[in-house]
Amino acid sequence: MEITQHPAFATFAFCAAFLVLKMLVVGHISGIWRIRKLAYLNPEDAKAFSQIEETRLEEDPDIARTLRAHRNDLESTLPFLAIGLVYLAVDPSPGLAKGLIITFTVFRTLFSVFYLAAIQPWRSLSFIVGELCVIVMLGQIFWWAVAG
């Protein structure tokens, strides 16, 4: 079966596009914070965007938080995008595939919200649920590769 013909592919495509858009938004939030707080690390940025010559030696805590949230997105969402395609290629159950894809997307979105708002333990719980979705996908891929 061609991967685009899998019943869960449209769900995956939508969720993948949504997650990438979310990653872009989280990444740009740090730029917004830099402009609002005049917190530039590079002298050329300080001069170009605020007419000041000085830069900060230390990162602003709010900006650092958004950068960590964005880095975590890169560490979790990018592998999901690659594994999701491989997962669909092994022809999993459509219902399970859609459930895992949607669950990952919802909980990665919640993770970003909780991270940016500094809300625990919900941030960690949402991270764990998303990672469990990927682990289930990996398990099915391994099973398919060994048993197939």
Give the CATH number for residue 115.
Answer: 1.20.120.550
For residues 58 and 22, the model is more confident at: 22
- Which pair of tokens denotes residue 67? 């950068």
The residue range of the domain holding 18 is 3-147
- Give pLDDT, residue 55: 67
Mark residue 28 as left, alpha or beta (left: phi above 0; alpha: psi -120 to 50; beta: remaining). Answer: alpha
Burial of 87 (0-12, 13-18, 19+ CB in 10 A): buried
User: Region 93-116: what's the mean pLDDT?
Assistant: 97
- Which pair of tokens denotes residue 104? 């990952």
For residues 82 and 43, the model is more confident at: 82
- Which pair of tokens denotes residue 144? 């398919």
- How far from each other are the two terminal CA atoms of the chain, in whole angstroms? 15
| Cβ partners under 8 Å of residue 87, min gap 6 | 97, 100, 137, 140, 141
Q: What is the domain count for the chain? A: 1
